[in-house]
Amino acid sequence: MASINLRALAPIGVFFLLCIVIAIFSPNFLSVSNAIRILNASAIPVVLVMGATFVILMGSIDLSIEGIVALCAVVTASLVLNDTTAANLGMWAIPFAVLTGGMVGAINGATHVYLRVPSFMATLGIGFVCLGIATAALGGFPVRIADRGFRALTLGRTLGLPNGIWVATAAVLVALVIQERTRLGRYVFAIGTDEVTARQSGVPVERIRILVFVLAGLFSGMAGVMAAAQLGQGHALIASGRLFTTITAVVVGGTALSGGVGSVLNSVVGVLIVVVLTNGMVLMGVPPFVQQGVQGFLIIVAVSIALDRRQLEFVK
């Protein structure tokens, strides 16, 4: 039993070890301003992993993250004061964009459940549909945001910290309550551990699966809003690389791809590990293109450590 606890604590250990190593090579790392920079860079990934963690806890996967983020960023940018459309909804654009994400999530879930298509295929296809819509709607051009009030969502500061950090913190709290204190959260664990038993115990498996994809869509939608506010524009490529970072963070945090084991808090640690690693590589002068390779390597290492091989007789 001790080994399980060890496993749960391992990501935190890795995080501190990483910080120590980077601090030795690059003394600039341990400064308040760099810490805030790291937290700020973590804000969008943290919001993304909240949704992705639920999906993965259920034993499924969501490959449509980039598509939803891009689509929602474009929706946001087109609804606030901008250079392309006549709209000027200000902060009211946020619920529209987030709901768009939730809707795509519902389509993901419904396709997966009712057509009985494995989630990685359903979300791969629908993710591309979203990217296509984001591209086609703008003919490949970006929408520039002119609404300063809206951009304060990530650029402004409250109590000395960038607002993005507060938004991400709120997202974590919401996710934590859902995970620990709602039926949805507990059913996710039940389905991820043993779907057949969960169904026999009266868990409405289909409805929960769809709801979880909706939840993931909502979080991805919020991340799209934040990305638009951060970069001051919405375009189809705004999210490229996000999927990779998200999945890396979730698995590095210790949530098992086989489902049932993990937590949104683990994923927060996972994001911090990935972001600190990126930050450290930049500080140490490692070229940025190496990052994707390093993340790929991290995924393999993390998954191979976390996988419970006794459960998997065959690997497809």
Partner 1 sequence: MKTVLELRNVTKEFPGVRALDSVNLHVGRNEVVGLIGENGAGKSTLVKILAGIHRINEGEMLFEGKPTSFRSPRDAFNHGLAMVFQEQSIIQTLTVAENIFLGREQEFLRFGIIDKRSMNSAAKVELAKVHLNCEPSEKCSKLDFAARQMVEIAKALSLDGRLDSDIVILLDEPTSVLERREINLLFEIIGELKAKASIIFISHRLDEVLEVSDRIYVLRDGAVVHETASADASITGLHEHMVGRQLDHEYYRENKQRSSFGDPVLSVRDLTIDGELRNLSVDLAAGEILGLAGVVGSGREAFARCLGGLMLPSSGEILIDGKPVKLNQPNQAVDSGFGFVPSERKSEGIVSGLSVAENMTLAAGKRFSRFGFIRFDRERTECQHWIKRLQIRTPSVKTPMQSLSGGNQQKVVLSKWQIVGSKVAVLDHPTRGIDVGAKEDVYELIREMADQGIAIVLLGDTLEEVIGLSNRILVLRDGEVSAQFDAPAGAKPDQLDLISNMV
Partner 2 sequence: MTEKHKQFIRNLVPIFTLLILVFGIAAYEPGFLRPRNLMTVTADTMTLFLMASGATLVIMLGSIDLSIQAIASMTSCIVAAMLPMFGGTALLFALAAGAAAGILSGLVVNYLRIPSFVATLAIGGIMTSVAFWASNERSIYISDEDKLVWLNWATGTTAGIDHEVVVGLAVLAVLSVILSLTRFGRLVRAVGSQERAVVASGINVNGVKFFAFVISGFMAGLAGLVMAARLGSGSPTLASEFLLPAIACIIVGGTAITGGVGSIWKTFVGALIIAVVRIGMTFVGVTVFAQQIVFGLVLVLAVAMTIDRTKVSVVK
- Picked from partner 2, partner 1, none, the partner binding residue 32 (CB below 5 to 8 A depending on kind) is none
Shortest distance (Å) from residue 312 CB to partner 1: 16
144 contributes a contact to partner 1 by CB under 8 A? no
**Cα–Cα distance, 283 to 251 (Å, whole number):** 25
- Picked from partner 1, partner 2, none, the partner binding residue 118 (CB below 5 to 8 A depending on kind) is partner 2
Shortest distance (Å) from residue 6 CB to partner 1: 15
The CA R_g of the chain, rounded to the nearest whole Å, is: 19
188 contributes a contact to partner 2 by CB under 8 A? no
216 contributes a contact to partner 2 by CB under 8 A? no
Which DSSP symbol is given to 144? E
**Using the rule CB under 8 A, which residue among 8, 12, 37, 120 binds partner 2?**
120
CA distances from residue 64 to 6, 101, 197, 261 in whole angstroms, order as listed = 32, 10, 29, 22
**Cα–Cα distance, 3 to 6 (Å, whole number):** 5
183 contributes a contact to partner 1 by CB under 8 A? yes
**Cα–Cα distance, 154 to 113 (Å, whole number):** 36
Shortest distance (Å) from residue 228 CB to partner 2: 19
Show the binding pattern over residues 197-226: x = contacts partner 1 (CB under 8 A), - = does not: xx-xxxx-----------------------
Question: Which segments of the chain does DSSP mark as H helices, in order?
Answer: 2-25, 32-57, 65-79, 93-114, 119-138, 148-155, 163-181, 183-193, 195-200, 205-231, 242-252, 264-283, 290-306
294 contributes a contact to partner 2 by CB under 8 A? yes
List interacting residues with partner 2 (CB under 8 A). 58-61, 111-112, 115-122, 124-133, 135-136, 139-140, 195-196, 244, 247, 251, 257, 259, 287, 289-297, 299-300, 303-304, 307, 309, 312-316
